Amino acid sequence: MPIILAIETSSETASCALLYGATVLSRESSGVRTHSQAILPMVQELLAEAGISLAQCDAISFGAGPGSFTGVRTACGIAQGLAYGAGLPVLPLVTLDAMALACRQQTGAADVLAVLDARMGEVYWAQYRGAQLVAGPALCAPAAVAPLVTDGPLTACGNGFAAYPDAFQGRAYAAAALTDIMPHARQLAELALDALAAGLAVPAAQAQPLYLRNKIAYTSAERLAINAAKAVA
């Protein structure tokens, strides 16, 4: 089975995971200001625990977005830096897909609505039937989230419901929303297996974040994180 390293920094929690065989090791760190400093030490811890080198991995996946501008660019830059040094392909994956997978794993739900706080009075959202994306990903005001009608119950997850409770008031699916489910590298590593098998890996230079808002330039902190990743690799 392929060995996958996953990196996720699109929200307040930074995480990384290493999938090898039937084992998934993971680390996480809270505090959005520490993401660029936290990821590389966690990656080194995972590789040391598994007793493998970065070059033994088959691919590096990362949460490409949607999410915070700084967060998705940090994950992309670190993934690129590590991939360049080790000669590995990169798998940019959708953060909402990871949330939906976590929700299915936790609840067994067939129909899932993932809603992530996008700040500025907006949310990112997507709807899934099993592993199939049926609506989104989209960016809109919370009140404008419009999931498709489902035959059975719609299970909701994500911090968007906690961030804008008034906007979702009266919607049946929002009342029991699992607001603690957020993008995590553990699910990204699992999703990466199918993505790698489907031929979705790209060279490091071609890896890009998924933006639903306009692009911005790299910050100084992001450039430092990218250079540090290249140096480690």
Pair (82, 105) in one structural domain? no
Query: Which residue carries 């993971």 as its tokens?
Result: 26
The predicted pLDDT at position 213 comes to 73
The predicted pLDDT at position 228 comes to 65
Pair (120, 10) in one structural domain? no
The predicted pLDDT at position 216 comes to 43
DSSP label at residue 178: B
Q: What is the pTM of this model?
A: 0.89
The predicted pLDDT at position 30 comes to 81
- Output the six-digit token pair for 147: 């999931």
Average pLDDT by stretches of 10, the chain with 233 residues? 96 95 93 76 96 97 94 95 96 98 98 96 97 96 95 96 97 96 98 97 95 58 58 60
The predicted pLDDT at position 225 comes to 61
DSSP label at residue 199: T
Pair (188, 84) in one structural domain? yes
Domain range for 207 = 4-94+183-232
Q: How many structural domains compose the chain?
A: 2
The predicted pLDDT at position 64 comes to 97
Pair (187, 198) in one structural domain? yes
Cα separation, 154 vs 113, in Å, equals 7
The predicted pLDDT at position 231 comes to 64
In terms of Cα–Cα distance, which of 66, 3, 122, 86 is closest to 76? 66
CATH number of the domain that 65 lies in?
3.30.420.40
Cα separation, 197 vs 200, in Å, equals 8
Would you say the C-alpha torsion 212, 26, 229, 12 has a positive or negative sign? positive
The predicted pLDDT at position 135 comes to 96
